[in-house]
Chains A and B, each alone.
Chain A
Amino acid sequence: MAATFFGEVVRTPCRAGTEDEEEEEEEGRRETPEDGEVRQQLARKREVRLLRRQTKTTLEVSLLEKYPCSKFIIAIGNNAVAFLSSFIMNSGVWEEVGCAKLWNEWCRTVDTTHLSPTEAFCVFYHLKSNPSVVLCQCSCYVAEDQQYQWLEKPHNPDNHTQSNSCQVFWLQMVFGSCPRKNMQVTILTCRHVTDYKTSESTSSLHTPFLKALKTQNFREPPCCSLLEQPNIVHDLPAAVLSYCQVWKISAILYLCYTDVMKLDLITVEAFKPVLSSRSLKSLVKNIPQSTEILKKLMTTNEIQSNIYT
């Protein structure tokens, strides 16, 4: 052991051999029953459930198996959600068909059993006049382990993470094990412009701006330029797009790079070019009214922060 300048004690590398150290580490790795219980409780807490709020029942099958659709539009993040709320959802009557209740460390609530309607999570709607159009508004953060289906092996004694129940996560829960290939998926999301890699100076970028990334099966021209390498997409949008690519579903992701991650009028309006896409064109009815709805949304959602002036 050695002490550093700041008083912390660090383990110095030992040239005598590492066998003893390995044994010590092995002991530390062995899980106690309490650890196992805590881990199982955490796993149960992180379970994603799809339910119908009106009937308070859980959906037995995946959402798109119960409500097959030809157009699936997903908004991830508060700006994308505000865009859909203002420009698409005022075009007709939308019925809520399900909501995904989930909890992870990013959620601000501690009560995982009784999430109120104002808690941010995923809500699914379909258009009453045309039920083949399904829309998802996802304001919460879906963690990596919650994005994909995770099937545990119940008879593996070496598997310390053994659980008796399958944990159904977002994609499996929404798309199912065998998704329809003749649907078109449109994903809208935002990312901070500091994540955008470019050889140009970042001060020359006109934020917010839109970039697109599509699957191989997507044939239409996108409404904006494609996302250049080496930029990558993260989190749930990446999971959905990858899933669509694997299952040969026509899908396109519109990613808005912005310098304001909170709900912002200019960022929301940056999504407007998407309204000319085939999947959304027929859903847009009254743009001036939509702009008014958006302004009201901004006013009601304004959180007073005095840090920046």
Chain B
Amino acid sequence: MASQYDRAITVFSPDGHLFQVEYAQEAVQKGSTVVGIRGTDIVVLGVEKKSVGKLQDERTVRKICALDDHVCMAFAGLTADARVVISRARVECQSHKLTVEDPVTVEYITRFIATLKQKYTQSNGRRPFGISALIVGFDDDGIPRLYQTDPSGTYHAWKANAIGRSAKTVQEFLEKNYTEDAIANDSEAIKLAIRALLEVVQSGGKNIELAIIRRNQPLKMFSAKEIELQVNETGKEKEEAEKKKSKKTA
């Protein structure tokens, strides 16, 4: 039955599905994992780095992009679609700043991206964007924000979330481990993001990219060394926790 209703984006199936939009969600699953954490004074984006060809310039394969000085975004899904969305979002950020003389709020730019995506689910001859995005940043009021958008054009605020391949596993990990203690300070929030990613990233720190935004500070991308340090620290803490646990049970 699906095949009769999945060719045109503007056609609902009898049971209310827009199959092209649902298929676009599948394209998101093909992208590598992205995790976003909203801490008390920090927002963290961690991604599973896509493996790069030997002759490929690593700098051109980026999942985390700044939209403005105080907002950044990570995506999972079709690379080309992401490039278009990011480009439009960046222009909108500058246009807003020039027009109203204020930087965009995180919610505003998320709504802009979500509206853009929704338009492409309702136009003939177009297909939906095959990306989901996690958008993080700080507003003028100093409150950290984390939003998620998906190909259907919906957006929601989250305390922590994951998108892309094996997102379900990471989401379950976050549901169990996102506590007030876990985000008590900046370094705990960073470690939580790394631990969440290590649930699904097999090869360890060298396949992880991390970015943070602190209040009133620009986006900071972690270097490979810094990530390795964090991963090693996280590994040690995990071992110690396991030793304590085995002592208790013994």
User: Which of A203, A304, A309 is close to B56, meaning CB atoms less than 8 Å apart?
Assistant: A304
Do B63 and A309 have beta carbons less than 8 Å apart?
yes
With a cutoff of 8 Å between Cβ atoms, the chain A residues found around residue B75 in the complex are 309
A56 at the interface (CB under 8 A from B): no
Q: Which of B76, B79, B200 has the largest count of A CB atoms less than 10 A from its CB? A: B79
Cβ of B32 within 8 Å of any chain A Cβ, yes or no, is: yes
- Mark B38-65 against chain A: 1 for CB-CB distance below 8 A, else 0: 0000000000001111001000010100
B16 to chain A, nearest CB (A): 14
Q: How far is the CB of A29 from chain B (nearest CB, A)?
A: 29
The one of B30, B51, B78, B166 that contacts A266, using a Cβ cutoff of 8 Å: B166
B window 146-192: CB within 8 A of A: 165-166, 168-169
Binding site for B on A (CB under 8 A): 194, 203, 206-207, 259-260, 265-266, 295, 302, 304, 306-309
Given contacts A302-B51, A304-B56, contact A309 B26 (CB under 8 A): no
B interface residues, Cβ below 8 angstroms from A: 26-27, 29-32, 50-53, 56, 61, 63, 75-80, 82, 165-166, 168-169, 200, 202-203
Alpha-carbon distance A137/B46, docked complex (angstroms): 38
Query: Which one of A259, A295, A304, A307 lies within 8 Å of B29 (CB-CB)?
Result: A259
Known: A206-B169, A259-B29, A306-B61. 11 other contacts (CB 8 A): A203-B168, A295-B202, A304-B53, A307-B80, A308-B27, A308-B30, A308-B78, A309-B77, A309-B78, A309-B79, A309-B82
Contact of B77 among A194, A265, A308 (CB under 8 A): A308
Which residues of the partner chain B approach A306 to less than 8 Å between Cβ atoms?
61, 79
Report A-chain residues with C-beta under 8 Å of the C-beta of B31: 308-309
- Contacts known (A259-B165, A266-B166); A194 close to B63, Cβ less than 8 A: no
Main secondary structure of the interface of B (DSSP, over half): loop
Q: Which residues of A contact B27 (CB under 8 A)?
A: 308
24 contacts between A and B (CB under 8 A): A194-B26, A203-B168, A206-B168, A206-B169, A207-B168, A260-B30, A265-B202, A266-B166, A266-B200, A295-B202, A295-B203, A304-B51, A304-B56, A308-B30, A308-B31, A308-B77, A308-B78, A309-B61, A309-B63, A309-B75, A309-B76, A309-B78, A309-B79, A309-B82
A266 / chain B contacts, CB cutoff of 8 Å: 166, 200, 202
Instruction: Please give, as numbers and ranges, the residues of chain A lying within 8 Å of B53 by CB-CB distance.
Output: 304
Q: How far is the CA of A304 from the CA of B168 in the complex (A)?
A: 25
Shortest Cβ gap from B53 to chain A (Å): 4
How far apart are the CA atoms of A79 and B75 in the complex, in Å? 27
Residue of A with least CB distance to B51: A302
